[in-house]
Structure 1
């Protein structure tokens, strides 16, 4: 069996299986990579939305769960293709032919699998937020000192009680926010949020 899985005709599917199991293990031991904030700025045209929806990426599932489902589909379909080819022709297909067919059928199959998983796990759909939804929420600086040009890592909790870790700089050039202090997120530029200390949020304009 091991010789079969490591043969050139099956190797691409075996590698996909190993990656899938690795992602599953990371999730199982609680590292929480499936909840990383993925801030991908995609042009909001109809073509992009349709493609993402067709791939199953607009279901609200975390990206790593979607990827795990895709790898599972690709692996199972690839093994099935090679087994059928062996039964019919006596030998498996070349890995590139089987891999191409497995990729196409796997993408199509995963669109349905992702939709099914999203229905089974509605909490993912209800707690997905846009990054800009964190603005006007309070964050606590966890590491370092936040000053202009030198962002620090901070923790902010969204309306669903989920923690997000972001990089923050003061909104005003003269402000310095030390570790352990809280501040209000007032705007965002790319991956960096700008904050105003709680001590003078009322006193100074944004």
Structure 2
């Protein structure tokens, strides 16, 4: 079997995706961000993802126990690994590849089971930023740092703060009318505008904080 044969393309793409995410996470870390933390922070605002059948699937996949980005990488990695190994077995035994129309769904299903069990095994050992350590209403009164683009009224930007447990929270912040925030500004969260947006003002005590 040739690893880079056309019938291995879906599985090589999946493994390449995992490598790409690793590179992007490393680059983001250099600039003071974590893609996985930001993704988890945004996912928690979608109630449809935590209820019903979708919620059960996410629970089975260990989303909530470990970062969603880790789950995605595990799923893609297992999919690629299982696909390549099964194609290798097919070429060894029958000298012909299995149709990916049949193999891809099988590999995906096997990957889901693998993610479930391996996720449960690594969850206790995997460090992560918890975004639910404090209630969202407790964000009010916290000092945050703007990490995203220029923010103005109706056009929020990303900010982050670290709570008393040392855990990082990412949220969308916007200023009062007629004002704007820029990357690096230290702001005080003063109110909640919606389930995902908060009102803030420039640090009123720059000489102390």
TM-score interval, normalised by the smaller of the two chains? 0.7 to 0.9
Instruction: Tell whether 2:193 aligns with 1:191.
Output: no
Change (3 A) 1:170 1:26: closer
Deviation at 1:186, TM superposition (A): 2.1
Structure 1 runs not aligned, ≥5 long: 201-206
Structure 2 runs not aligned, ≥5 long: none
User: Mapping of 1:54-69 within 5 angstroms?
Assistant: 54-59=60-65, 61-69=66-74
Deviation at 1:56, TM superposition (A): 2.2
CA RMSD of aligned residues (A): 3.2
8 A Cα contact 1:127 1:160, kept in partner: no
Change (3 A) 1:188 1:54: same
1:128 pairs with 106, 131, 136, which one? 131
User: Mapping of 1:71-90 within 5 angstroms?
Assistant: 71-90=76-95
Instruction: Tell whether 2:55 aligns with 1:49.
Output: yes
Q: Which residue of 2 aligns with 1:35?
A: 37
Matched pairs, number: 193
Q: Which residue of 2 aligns with 1:203?
A: none
CA deviations on 1:142-182 (whole Å, 9 max, x unpaired) are 788866445455443333334445432346x5x84766453
8 A Cα contact 1:184 1:198, kept in partner: no
CA deviations on 1:116-159 (whole Å, 9 max, x unpaired) are 221221x32x7332782533422345788866445455443333
Taking the aligned partners of 1:99 and 1:197, their CA distance within structure 2 comes to 52
CA deviations on 1:50-91 (whole Å, 9 max, x unpaired) are 2211122232x2221111111111111111211222233221
Tell which deviates more after alignment, 9-18 or 29-38.
Answer: 29-38
8 A Cα contact 2:37 2:170, kept in partner: no
Change (3 A) 1:146 1:116: same
Q: TM-score normalized by structure 1?
A: 0.74
Deviation at 1:47, TM superposition (A): 3.2
**Bigger CA radius of gyration:** 1
User: Mapping of 1:1-206 within 5 angstroms?
Assistant: 4-29=2-27, 30=29, 32-36=34-38, 37-39=41-43, 40-43=45-48, 44-59=50-65, 61-121=66-126, 123-124=127-128, 127-129=130-132, 132=136, 133-140=138-145, 148-151=153-156, 153-170=158-175, 176=179, 180=185, 182-195=187-200, 199=204
Change (3 A) 1:141 1:45: closer
